Structures are given as C-alpha cells and as structure tokens.
Amino acid sequence: MKPDDLRAMTVDQLDDEALKLKKERFNLRFQRATGQLENTARVRQVRRDIARIKTIAAQKRSGRAAPAATAAPRTKEPAAKPKRAARSKAKPE
C-alpha cells in the first residue's frame, strides 16, 4: 500500500484498513503454522502496511504535516570532513 494513498484516507478509513490487515495477519499466521502459506513474503508486507497505517493515522490525529522527507530540500551543504595527516611509510629502526 502506498503512503500517498493512505494519506488521502480519513482516520476512520485508516482504522478500518488496519483492522482488515490485522485479520489478514492473523490468518497468515495460522496458514504458516499449518504449512499452507504459499506467499511467505506477504506476512512481512502486511506487518509493514499495518505500521505504515498506524504512523499516518497518528500524524493525522496530532495534526502534524507530512514527514520531513516530503518537505523542501535543504540548501545548506554538510561540512566537509577534515583530512587526516598522512602517515610516513618509513619503517622504524
């Protein structure tokens, strides 16, 4: 599920979607335990979708804007690391 699609939903819709995914996760756990699970990657995908939905729902409830990743890019460049002094290659006597 894409974050942009989730951000277009209301908090109630997000809660309904989270509930649906939790039920799916429950069923996937039983399928895995009985050896009937075909797509094992789906467990991980559902778990991450639930977390994504919870995050976006919490942002909407608190009234915060979109995360910093979608904000305006930074204009200040990071400072360059100072160079280390070169070691001499002479062998000690």
CB-neighbour burial class of residue 73 (10 A; exposed 0-12, middle 13-18, buried 19+)? exposed
What are the residue boundaries of the structural domains of the chain, listed by start?
Answer: 3-62
pLDDT of residue 45: 96
Count CA atoms within 13 Å of residue 27 on its CB side: 10
pTM above 0.85, yes or no: no
Instruction: Check whether 70 has a pLDDT greater than 60.
Output: no
The tens digit of pLDDT for each residue in 11-40 reads 999 999 999 999 999 999 999 999 999 999
Q: Which overall architecture, per CATH, does domain 3-62 show?
A: Orthogonal Bundle (1.10)
